């Protein structure tokens, strides 16, 4: 991933949060195994198939939990830490 792709990724995730009205993403069952899906991630929309986790989010305006969403591991980490994993961030920095 390069800087331009990362900037687009951040916009896509931000747009998902705004569209859904949620303020976070949480795995529904952190003990559950991920599942492979060919469909895009519900959060970032990247078209690549991959491991997905069932997540939900809290809508602060409606005061309710929404979901489930089928979310890639990158989006879970990004939601929790505000950036992608360290190796990806180094790759972006070097691009």
Per-residue pLDDT of the chain (95 residues; tens, 9 = 90+): 999 999 999 999 999 999 999 999 999 998 888 889 999 999 999 988 899 999 999 999 999 999 999 999 999 999 999 999 999 999 999 88
Structural domain total, the chain = 1
Neighbours of 57 (CB within 10 A): 23
- pLDDT attached to residue 34: 84
Q: What domain range is 46 assigned to? A: 3-94
Contact 45, 75 (CB under 8 A): no
Tell me the pTM.
Answer: 0.89
- pLDDT attached to residue 31: 83
DSSP assignment of 58-92 equals EETTTTEEEEEEEEEHHHHHHHHHSS--HHHHHHH
Would strands 64-72 and 50-59 be described as parallel, antiparallel, or unpaired? antiparallel
- pLDDT attached to residue 12: 98
């Amino acid at each position: 991933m390069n800087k331009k792709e990362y900037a687009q990724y951040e916009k896509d995730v931000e747009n998902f949060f705004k569209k859904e009205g949620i303020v976070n993403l949480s795995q529904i069952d952190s003990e559950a195994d991920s599942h492979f899906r060919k469909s895009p991630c519900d959060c970032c929309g990247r078209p690549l198939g991959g491991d997905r986790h069932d997540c939900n989010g809290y809508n602060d305006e409606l005061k309710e939990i929404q979901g489930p969403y089928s979310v890639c591991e990158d989006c879970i980490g990004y939601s929790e830490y505000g950036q992608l994993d360290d190796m990806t961030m180094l790759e972006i920095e070097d691009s």
